[in-house]
Amino acid sequence: MSRSDYGWGLGSETEERLSVEAVELILYAQNDHGAYKAWILPMLKACQRHYLRGDGDFERAVNGFTRVFLPIARQYLLEHGTMTDSVRSVFPPAVRRECGRHMAEYFVAEFRAGNRW
């Protein structure tokens, strides 16, 4: 059984492009109301403000979302991890960068489709 047979909710093409840890962290961030409202939504609104002003930069959005995924990873480990798990061992910076890039691409796709927050 391949990874795409699970159908976690991001689409088979996206799931094959990302690591398993990144898919898990993205799904947690999108489905946990507290994490989405506290960290993802304010970042989406900030990106929207920059794009409407005309000074939106994709790499700045990726960096912003990457920083946002650190507290989300900590919250995930509090709920689902063990006492010996560390954020850097379960979700290293490369995984959080993958998550940040995915969310920035998601924002650009939604914004071009006409969806606003």
Counted domains in the chain: 1
8 Å CB contact between 28 and 72: yes
Per-residue pLDDT at 9: 59
Residue 46, both tokens:
């900030």
Instruction: Identify whether 11 is part of a domain.
Output: no
Per-residue pLDDT at 13: 75
For residues 73 and 65, what is the distance between their CA atoms, to the nearest angstrom? 12
Instruction: Identify whether 39 is part of a domain.
Output: yes
Q: What is the pLDDT along the chain (117 residues), one digit of tens a residue?
A: 344 444 555 666 777 889 999 999 999 999 999 999 999 999 999 999 998 999 989 999 999 999 999 999 999 999 998 889 999 999 999 999 999 999 999 999 988 898 887
- The boundaries of the domain holding residue 74 are 22-112
Instruction: Identify whether 6 is part of a domain.
Output: no
Instruction: Identify whether 85 is part of a domain.
Output: yes
Instruction: Identify whether 2 is part of a domain.
Output: no
Instruction: Identify whether 1 is part of a domain.
Output: no
Per-residue pLDDT at 116: 81
Residues near 81 by beta carbon (within 8 Å), at least 6 away in sequence? 90
Per-residue pLDDT at 1: 37
pTM of the model: 0.83
Q: Where is 105: in which H helix or E strand?
A: helix 93-112
Instruction: Identify whether 98 is part of a domain.
Output: yes
- Please name the residue that has the structure tokens 């991890």: 81
Instruction: Identify whether 97 is part of a domain.
Output: yes
